[in-house]
Structure 1
Amino acid sequence: MALRNVLQFIILGLLDQQPLTGYELTKAFDSDIGEFWSANHSQIYPQLRRLEQSGQITHEEEVSGEKLARKRYAVTADGRGALNDWLSAETEPTVGGRDEFAVKMYFIKTPDDPRLAHMLAAQLRFHEQKLDHLKMQMTRKFPDGQNNNDYGHYLVLDHAIRRETAYCEWLESANPNQ
């Protein structure tokens, strides 16, 4: 099956929650969405143009300060329909993700390789920091536990925490120096 342009649906979903500027959309990929999908402004802005040309989003100009004009985008009924169709469609399993660390690990031949302990420790530090960030997000966004109004967001964040916890446990158990 051909790859879908998932970015368009992420943007539609974010705009379905509330109207946002391109900058605000980009920032969403640095925080919440960035935990499971990445995109930068060079991808987001052309996608906004395509979505607007297709009638799935619209924008209003707003002026900030004396001269700064920015576009605040909102989803249209057509865009909401496309988002709902995508949400209802079967999801293809994700395969073939790029993981440079896993590729490097594949080529480590013995448990006494002098590079192994450092590689594992560096990854453990990174994933512990990521886990701490995710736990902080959970505490900040869901201080009282699961929220039925943002249940999907809660589930994704819970999944990310469990994934990072398991990854940290695996890195600790793989390190021959521990």
Structure 2
Amino acid sequence: MTKAFEHEIGEFWQAQHSQIYPMLKRLETAGDITHEDTVSGEKLAKKQYSLTPTGHDKLVAWVSEPSPELTATKDEFILKLYFIKTSDDPRLQPMLQEQAALHRAQLAHLQERQQTVFPDQTAIDQAYGHYLILDHAIGRERYYVEWLEKYLS
């Protein structure tokens, strides 16, 4: 579960351990999921979670519901930019350079993930929504890099 949030889901939704495990407990208590204890390696006990039929029905219903609200994203860099008053502020270029490097690295990471996870059309067809999300994230990062480079001296 944590790996999914680090690699795939984490590209668009953040969740901490402190959020994930209480939610799993609530879902299990509600009868939406069950778990089976498994052993990985010699001693590492893990819980393998599965949707129940009720949980599957709820998931299908939730995915089918409209999502009519735009949610604001938290971007500390953008917030800091708000307080830069002039284009010659000595803090601006280092801020832009730092962000450009970070977003170039993120773009490269996303492009690598796309090649790894979706090497061919069959893989795309089997997880099309995931492919769309990754494609969106690549476009977002590509735009962010272009926008930053526009203002770099």
Same fold (TM over 0.5): yes
Q: Compute the TM-score of the two structures, normalised by the length of structure 2.
A: 0.93
Percent sequence identity over matched residues?
53
1:56-67 pair list within 5 angstroms: 56-65=32-41, 67=43
Amino acid at match of 1:137: R
The answer on 1:156 being equivalent to 2:130 is no
Of 128, 137, 140, which aligns to 2:104?
Answer: 128
CA shift digits 1:133-161 (9 cap, x unpaired): 00000111112257211111111111000
Secondary structure in structure 1 of the residue aligned to 2:87? coil
Secondary structure in structure 1 of the residue aligned to 2:13? coil
- Structure 1 residue 95: Cα displacement: 2.8
The runs of 4+ residues in structure 1 deviating greater than 6 Å are none
Secondary structure in structure 1 of the residue aligned to 2:78? helix
The match for 1:18 is none
The answer on 1:168 being equivalent to 2:145 is yes
Q: How far apart are the structure 2 equivalents of 1:86 and 1:30? A: 23
Q: Compute the TM-score of the two structures, normalised by the length of structure 1.
A: 0.81
- Structure 1 residue 166: Cα displacement: 0.3
The answer on 1:141 being equivalent to 2:117 is yes
The match for 2:8 is 32
Q: How far apart are the structure 1 equivalents of 2:91 and 2:46? A: 50
Q: How far apart are the structure 1 equivalents of 2:30 and 2:85? A: 53
- Structure 1 residue 61: Cα displacement: 1.6
Amino acid at match of 1:155: L
- Structure 1 residue 96: Cα displacement: 2.7
The match for 2:30 is 54
- Structure 1 residue 70: Cα displacement: 2.4
The match for 1:84 is 60
Unaligned runs of 5+ in 1: 1-24
Q: How far apart are the structure 2 equivalents of 1:98 and 1:66? A: 42
The answer on 1:113 being equivalent to 2:89 is yes
- CA RMSD, 1 decimal: 1.4
- Structure 1 residue 65: Cα displacement: 5.0
